[in-house]
Amino acid sequence: MIRVLSAIVVPPHMSVSGGARAGEMLSAALHAHCRIDVASMMGSPEDPGPCGRLAVRTHLPPGLPWSRLPNRYRSLFYRSDIPGRVRGYDLVHLHNPMPSLEMARIARAARRAGVPYVISTHGFNEVANGGSIYGFGPARRALWRGLVHGPVAEAVRGAAGILALSPADFDIVRAMGFRDGLMEVVPNGVAVPEPADPGEDAILLARFALPAPDPAGPLTLMFLANHTPNKGLPVLLRSLQALRRPVQLIVGGETRPEIDYAGLLGALAPDQRVVVTGRLSDAEVGALMRRADLFVFPTLADTLPLVVFEAMAQGVPVLASAVGGIPYQIDPSCGQLVPPGDPAALAAAVERLGQDRSRLRRMGLEARARVATGFTWAAAASKAHEAYGRVLAASERATEHQVPPIAPARSTAAGR
């Protein structure tokens, strides 16, 4: 049985990361196929799962006043002891591209140790397009190329295989210089939840002063993500101003000090209510999603957002931006796509979908069926394990065909 190190690269101060969560879930499902140890810079989750785990130490390089810098800048420079842990494994699987300098360090360590590695493309759409989606000027674009895009591209060029989350990532990794090696689609999966307990849901919803579902009440929308600029929360809030109907919007995810929530919410109409929840437990996420009529995700750049699958698994239709792998996730039976960064188009789509609640319920059922049949962690693990085998077989063939060094000729005079 092959031995795999699942290396999850993520700033250790973060409490939530879609890429880290996906890496954990895939690793747990792969436990049925191979011996797998997880080394996560975020530390162990509350439920460590069936995999072996390595305790990971993280630090910032000495000599700089890190405490004076915001987390978004410190995030780029975190290091770990994962590079020193790659020896002894048959394969390394890299998850998540940030901090990119650390991803490149782990990749270099694997190459030095002669251990092949594969990369799942979590966040690659954001890496490839970060300079534009964050509105950087020339100086910051240069820093992005040097501190984010460049290190990720270095890791990609040395990889034995790329496990793309969707076909949309193929062009991205080719543009980064990936030429030789396996390239397969291994998407995120989702665990289809057990039937909900209405009583427990009511208790959870009461924490946020949300009334029980009312088919004749305002349309309820839900958004859930880190409130970083690329996730499109300001686009969503601006779109509400163009709506001509009462709505109730649930905004999940940790708040960020740089966002003017009061100013954005103060511009809404009196019949538009917004509930900003802050960080949520898994149980709260499930209850809130089931309360929603429509999950709205106007992201500006995303690779294959796990939260879209999680909403679908709860039986909620999805309205999202047509970016990255999202068109691979949803189809017209269970969702709708709009251009990114277009509040008017988003508002128009909400208006159309909100006119027929029965259609939304049918779309929700289709969404649940779609993930249950095509996007499970068991299916993803089976594809990943097959890819591991092909990578290792190719590595063995390459080793066998290496030309051995020529021994120096023995001197005939020395033998006399």
Strand order in the sheet with 318-321: 272-278, 247-252, 219-224, 294-297, 318-321, 335-338
Give the chain's mean pLDDT: 91
Q: How large a percentage of the chain has pLDDT more than 70?
A: 96
Check residue 273 and give left, alpha or beta (phi > 0: left; psi -120 to 50: alpha). beta
Q: What is the rounded distance in angstroms from the CA atom of residue 121 to the CA atom of residue 170?
A: 10
Rounded to 5°, angle at Cα 282 from 57 and 193: 120
Asked whether residue 44 carries a pLDDT value surpassing 80, the answer given is no
What is the distance between the alpha carbons of residues 415 and 18, in angstroms, rounded to a whole number?
Answer: 68
Q: What whole-number distance in Å separates Cα of residue 284 and Cα of residue 222? A: 13
Show Cβ contacts of residue 124 under 8 Å, excluding neighbours closer than 6 positions.
Answer: 97, 152, 165, 169, 172, 173, 303
Q: How far apart are CA 34 and CA 169, in angstroms?
A: 26
Helix (H) or strand (E) holding 306: helix 306-313
Instruction: Read off the amino acid at residue 297.
Output: F
| CB environment 16-49: b (16+ within 10 A), e (fewer) | ebbbbbbbbbbbbbbbebbebbbbbbbeeeeeee
Going by their DSSP bridges, the two strands 219-224 and 294-297 should be labelled as: parallel
**What are the residue ranges of helices labelled H in 218-257?**
233-240
Which domains does the chain carry? Answer: 3-189+376-392 (3.40.50.2000), 198-374 (3.40.50.2000)
Q: Whole-model pTM?
A: 0.86
What letter would DSSP give residue 304? S
Query: What is the predicted pLDDT for the residue at 411?
Result: 43
Q: What is the 8-class DSSP label of residue 145?
A: I
Higher pLDDT, 86 or 134: 86
Q: Tell me what the mean pLDDT of segment 44-59 comes to.
A: 86
Determine what percent of the chain falls in helix, strand and coil, rounding each to the nearest 5.
45, 15, 40
From 177, 24, 190, 171, select the one nearest 95 (Cα to Cα).
Answer: 24
**391: confidence class by pLDDT, cuts 50, 70, 90:** very high
pLDDT digits (tens, 9 = 90+) for 318-354: 999 999 999 999 999 999 999 999 999 999 999 999 9
Q: pLDDT at position 412, please?
A: 43
pLDDT over 90, % of the chain: 70
Dig out the tokens for 199 from the structure: 């009583």
pLDDT tens track for 222-232: 999 988 888 99
Q: In angstroms, how far is CA 258 from the centroid of its own chain?
A: 22
pLDDT at 414 over 70: no
Beta carbons within 8 Å of 90's beta carbon, 6+ residues apart: 2, 3, 4, 115, 392
- The whole-number pLDDT of residue 256 equals 81
